[in-house]
Structure 1
Amino acid sequence: MSATKLKFLISGAGIAGPCLAYWLSRTRLNAAITIIERSSVPRVTGQSIDIRGPGIEIVKRMNLEEAVRARNTTEEATVILDSSGKPFALFKGGDTFTAEYEILRADLAGLFMETTESLSNVKYVYGDSIKSLDQREKNVNVTFDGGSSATFDLVVAADGGTSRTRDMILDEHITKNSYDFLGQYIAFFSIPSRPTDPKMWQWYNRPKGLCIMLRPHRNPATVGAYLCITTPAHGQQDPAVEAALDKGVEAQKRICHEYLGNLGWEAKRVLEGMDAAEDFYMSRAAQVKLPKWTNGRALVLGDAAHATFGVGTTLAIESAYILAGELSKIQSSEDVPRALERFEEVYRPLYTKSEDGPPFFPQGAFPQTSWALWLRDSLLWFVSKTKLYKLLPADDESGFELPSYDWVDIR
């Protein structure tokens, strides 16, 4: 590798972006890495997420396994509740719902940031975002919303499923119909815990696709609350919820009261806690599927490339690792486009094992009618009692062996 310094820009300081910065720092490239984040401060909110399959091995190679375990949400199992709030199906941790490595999104993102922000070749910039891109043969000219501009050898959009940068990088025929709204809205926030709260993911459904969930936190003072409003089909929007999303947090809290106020179980407690919550966030559940992730010297990564329910975090970690590994092979800036093509060739086969997500989700898991809910509950009861879920492949049975690259020790 020549002494010429390469300039890399990563948009998004969530999971994929900082993970990529870490692995780029462990290459022999002479790289200056800038991570730009639209939020003015590091995000401290986020739902419970998990790491599975090859993602676990990558975290181990980052020497972060113990740190991740130390930040575990303490969730021991998942319990499904009936209409009166009594449990009827139990799935122990590590089986299906509750993974061995459960962590809050903010905790994992914070851990990756802590690991990279002290590195001399990594710089974080908050409160700004990409306004436009101009790809040339030898570089990419970037203009920022803050008014500045700069030139980079590589631009990575790791700014989430609703990425604005995605359409700047990929052609319209590539991105067309890539964003699939799953027909579900999810609000999540923290509420005060009670001594009687179990260390379990409690799942309480009612007809019309409505659901309240509670999940434990590492911080014993709070639990995570999740409110779900599900429409009958993928792509079907709820006009009232869409209007609330446009109007802001207070309107979103009002719509949650309207839809879930009389749901039963812990609805009163949860909604009272929601009113006082400072970390409330509501969004649409969606999947992103693209036939191509790269274009010249730019690409999309993580949820911006392949948001997938249940495995999005793992895909973000895996793709960051393999992208950095393929870039580690380049000899000069001229090799960047080919490295991105190799990344697609190597990573696409692993991604395709997980790209479709759970079947019939979310409508099958959040039924609209009482009869459909009874059918779902009967199936869950049977699977729980017979432990048929034990026949599912374990996380380490994906059949994919992570590539080995020439990493440098940065400890």
Structure 2
Amino acid sequence: MSTTTRTKLRVLISGAGIAGPCLAFWLARTRHDISITIVERSPDRRATGQSIDIRGPAIDIIKKMKLEEQIRALDTTETGTELIDASGKAFAKFGKGEAFTANYEVLRAELAGLFLDATEKLDNVSYRYGDSVTSLEQTEKEVHVTFASGATETFDMIAGADGSSSPTRPMILDAKTLEGSYNFLGQYIAFFTIPKGPTDTKIWKWFNTTKGRCLMLRPHRNNETMGAYMCITMPKHGVHDPAVEAALKGGASAQKRLLREYFANGGWEAQRILDGMDQSDDFYMSRAAHVKLPKWTNGRGVLLGDAAFATFGVGTSLAIDAGYVLAGELSKISDPSEVPQALERYEEVFRGLYKVMGGGIPGYPQFAFPQTATGIWILSSLMWAISKTKVYKLLPKDTEGVGWEPPQYDWVDV
């Protein structure tokens, strides 16, 4: 594309989490005369979310975004991970940047907020909270969209970046493509903030008990609070707990009642965590899922982030990578008629990274959250041995072992 070309392009992004604002960040840096609308069904910025990490090529991309220092300033200050027994004694320890705690650890809401801050101030980016896409119709030249508010608008393309349970996914892809794409991992996770106690440190503490239950405490950057995590893991992928499913439909109060029942006499600091849960104002509970699709694009519609490839441990990194590549391929077009081809190129380029990072961990989460006391003993013995021998040091570091580098594109400053 000529450096003097100014292609008019109207883009709709569904979802203001990680992938959507990252895409907007880079789209605003193309040479197009671009208008970007981001619609988010939440009435305002989401304040909830667990600790997440950034790995692989995504580290290079945040450096290109000139946000590395700000992200480091948001680091949770977690210095490592300890697997503990019911008395709180650690039997396996891992340092920062080794097996569990990454070199870049940040709360999801704070990372999303950083990307929002970087894009909300731009003249060609508009956020709409409290609304969502209810239907869309593609033609050869445009995408006609109807919103929950009743408004109807036309765009040159739509990007679904609205999470693993994406409501736009079935609007963009057909039923055959979607078949078997959403895979429930058999795990439910609740996370919330509780007051920091006198024995809490900057270490991520992980305690397993029977029936796939787990309690975790992870440090926050401040010295007043900790992140609490409560996990319920089923014996197999795809197996649901009817009581938990009912609680998920019943809202936060029903979910808290269920957790009190499931974790009564749960060991370690269960009582303290449950009491803190009742006082928390950021409680959130969800299912863990892996999304795997044979196709991410259709005409003028495209998926990215968890809507396209939710993957445990690397979902945030893949979302950052995808936003960069998608915007980069769109930067090459000279006319809106070329959007479908650009989306196809995005998929072709990004599949190379996804093949390396997007497969998930075989057997996870079941092997890490045993159902029985015997299973816990076996896992504990294995983790003790790994910790003592330090064989994990042979694994690739956060920035190594991927064999994929972000392509170079023609960006401008804004």
- Name the TM-score class by shorter chain: over 0.9
Q: Does 1:40 align with 2:48?
A: no
How far did 1:395 drift? 2.3
> Where does residue 384 of structure 1 map in the other structure?
387
Q: Does 1:27 align with 2:58?
A: no
Q: How does 1:257-296 map to 2 (within 5 A)?
A: 257-296=260-299
1:143 counterpart (126, 143, 146) = 146
The separation in 1 between residues aligned to 2:409 and 2:109, in whole angstroms, is 29
* Structure 1: stretches of 5+ with no match in the other structure: none
> Where does residue 77 of structure 1 map in the other structure?
80
> Where does residue 172 of structure 1 map in the other structure?
175
The separation in 2 between residues aligned to 1:227 and 1:137, in whole angstroms, is 48
2:317 counterpart (314, 329, 332) = 314
How far did 1:84 drift? 2.4
TM-score of the superposed pair, with normalisation by structure 2: 0.98
1:126 counterpart (88, 111, 129) = 129
Structure 1: which 4+ aligned runs deviate by more than 4 Å? 1-4
2:403 counterpart (385, 388, 399) = 399
The separation in 2 between residues aligned to 1:257 and 1:361, in whole angstroms, is 25
> Where does residue 339 of structure 1 map in the other structure?
342
> Where does residue 248 of structure 1 map in the other structure?
251
TM-score of the superposed pair, with normalisation by structure 1: 0.99
Q: Does 1:349 align with 2:359?
A: no
Contact kept, 8 Å, 2:103 with 2:398, in 1: the verdict is no
Out of 193-202 and 39-48, give the one that drifted further. Answer: 193-202
Contact kept, 8 Å, 2:7 with 2:334, in 1: the verdict is no
Tell me, what secondary structure is at the counterpart of 2:254? helix
Q: Does 1:52 align with 2:55?
A: yes
Contact kept, 8 Å, 2:292 with 2:309, in 1: the verdict is yes
2:13 counterpart (10, 13, 34) = 10
Contact kept, 8 Å, 2:97 with 2:397, in 1: the verdict is no
Q: Which amino acid aligns with 1:172?
A: A
Q: Percent identity?
A: 63
The separation in 1 between residues aligned to 2:103 and 2:352, in whole angstroms, is 25
The separation in 2 between residues aligned to 1:144 and 1:268, in whole angstroms, is 44
Q: Does 1:202 align with 2:205?
A: yes
1:160 counterpart (163, 166, 172) = 163
The separation in 1 between residues aligned to 2:9 and 2:69, in whole angstroms, is 33
How far did 1:4 drift? 5.1
Q: Which amino acid aligns with 2:99?
A: T
1:409 counterpart (405, 408, 413) = 413
Q: Does 1:181 align with 2:184?
A: yes
How far did 1:396 drift? 2.1
How far did 1:196 drift? 2.5
* Structure 2: stretches of 5+ with no match in the other structure: none
> Where does residue 222 of structure 1 map in the other structure?
225
1:367 counterpart (367, 370, 393) = 370
From the superposition, tell whether residues 40 and 298 of structure 1 become closer, same or farther in structure 2 (CA, over 3 Å): same
Q: Does 1:96 align with 2:103?
A: no
Q: Which amino acid aligns with 2:303?
A: V
Q: Which amino acid aligns with 1:399?
A: G
The separation in 1 between residues aligned to 2:199 and 2:63, in whole angstroms, is 35
How far did 1:82 drift? 1.4
Tell me, what secondary structure is at the counterpart of 1:353? helix
Out of 79-88 and 230-239, give the one that drifted further. Answer: 79-88
The separation in 1 between residues aligned to 2:293 and 2:157, in whole angstroms, is 20
The separation in 2 between residues aligned to 1:143 and 1:120, in whole angstroms, is 24
Q: Which amino acid aligns with 2:226?
A: V
Superposition RMSD on alpha carbons, in Å? 0.9
The separation in 1 between residues aligned to 2:60 and 2:7, in whole angstroms, is 32
The separation in 1 between residues aligned to 2:379 and 2:6, in whole angstroms, is 61
Tell me, what secondary structure is at the counterpart of 1:399? coil
Tell me, what secondary structure is at the counterpart of 2:406? coil
How far did 1:407 drift? 0.7
The separation in 1 between residues aligned to 2:346 and 2:13, in whole angstroms, is 16
